[in-house]
Chains A and B, each alone.
Chain A
Amino acid sequence: MIEGVFFYSALVVMIGAFLALLRVFFGPSVPDRVVGVDTLNTLVVAGMVLLGAAYDRTIYIDIAIVYALLSYIGTLAIAKYLQGGLR
């Protein structure tokens, strides 16, 4: 049963994303939280790909592609603000 394998691996990725969420919640400074959010974005993209394989739908991979692009832009905006260059 190949879909059960993808369900288990998606669950493991979700547990890792939950630990990254704890870093965002308890982080003492803002750059810690930015790194936590970036880790959470990457783990959720990985979870979305695994869930697309588990649901056996090809169209669900496109959402992971869109989110991988947009999370990069969001992290870049926050990094430019912290650097002081956001106009």
Chain B
Amino acid sequence: MNFESFFGIIQVFVAIGLVVSAAAAIRFKNLIAAVLAMAVFSLILSLEFYVLQAPDVAIAEAGVGACLTTAMYLLAIKNTTDEEVIE
């Protein structure tokens, strides 16, 4: 197997994972499950930056997506209610 076919297979896997996790982050009703799906999306996006050979962008994306965004969203969900307000 040469480099180009391997690169294409990895790109197909990463693209399917990105689409699936993005759809899950939008469609989940449970807010904790949506935050988990968003963390998975950030992880796969960081892997995509890694595969495309941009290591500094991958480090920044991993730091922001895995640690900061998850903790901030969890703090926001903790301090609010997860029910829709019906007027």
Contact = CB atoms under 8 A, between A and B. Distances in A.
Contact of B20 (A21, A37, A67): A21
A51 B32 contact: no
Interface string A23-57: 01100001001100100110010011001000100
Nearest to A7: B6
Binding site secondary structure of chain A: helix
Contacts, number: 100
Binding site secondary structure of chain B: helix
In this complex, the member of A63, A73, A86 whose beta carbon has the largest number of chain B beta carbons within 10 angstroms is A63
Interface residues of A, number: 39
Interface of A: 4, 7-8, 10-11, 14-15, 17-18, 21, 24-25, 30, 33-34, 37, 40-41, 44, 47-48, 51, 55, 59-60, 62-63, 66-67, 70-71, 73-74, 77-78, 81-82, 86-87
